[in-house]
Amino acid sequence: MAKILLIDDDPQVRAVLKGFLQIGRHQVLEAGNGVQAKKLLTDVQADLVITDIVMPESDGFEVIMSCARKDQPLKIIAITGGSPNLAQQTLLAIAQKMPVNKVLSKPVTCEELLTAVQDVLNAPTNASLPQST
């Protein structure tokens, strides 16, 4: 059982992913965008962040970068369904080049998500990114 922060702007999608994670008996924290996620992370220590990429206000890329800059970088799974301007494949390709542990594309099955979560949690801790000046 792990404490997982789930970030997605669509409440219905969030509910579904939360349901999946609860089936895997994980504790789930929710955020609707990157700004809310940052606030939550100052108070709570999460084991893993699952984030959507295209979101209003602070998007998934910002979340990924800010998590990676921490002294103890968080493990991240990025999940995307594409955007009106960029294709899903392009977004996935970008996300893969960022400091994330796993990239998934929507729609994701319960099994896929839980396997990915397990894989990432079992992986060794991320190395910290150099602080930007």
State the residues that interact with other proteins by CB under 8 A.
10, 12-13, 16-17, 19-20, 23, 54, 81-90, 93, 105-110
Q: What is the 3-state secondary structure (H, E, C) of the chain?
A: CCEEEEECCCHHHHHHHHHHHHHCCCEEEEECCHHHHHHHHHHCCCCEEEEECCCCCCCHHHHHHHHHCCCCCCEEEEEECCCCCCCHHHHHHHHHCCCCCEEEECCCCHHHHHHHHHHHHHCCCCCCCCCCC
In the bound state with other proteins, the residue whose beta carbon lies nearer, of 24 and 73, is: 24
Report the nearest approach of other proteins to the CB of residue 27 (Å): 17
Nearest approach, Cβ of residue 3 and other proteins (Å) = 20
Cβ of residue 56: shortest distance to other proteins, in angstroms?
Answer: 13
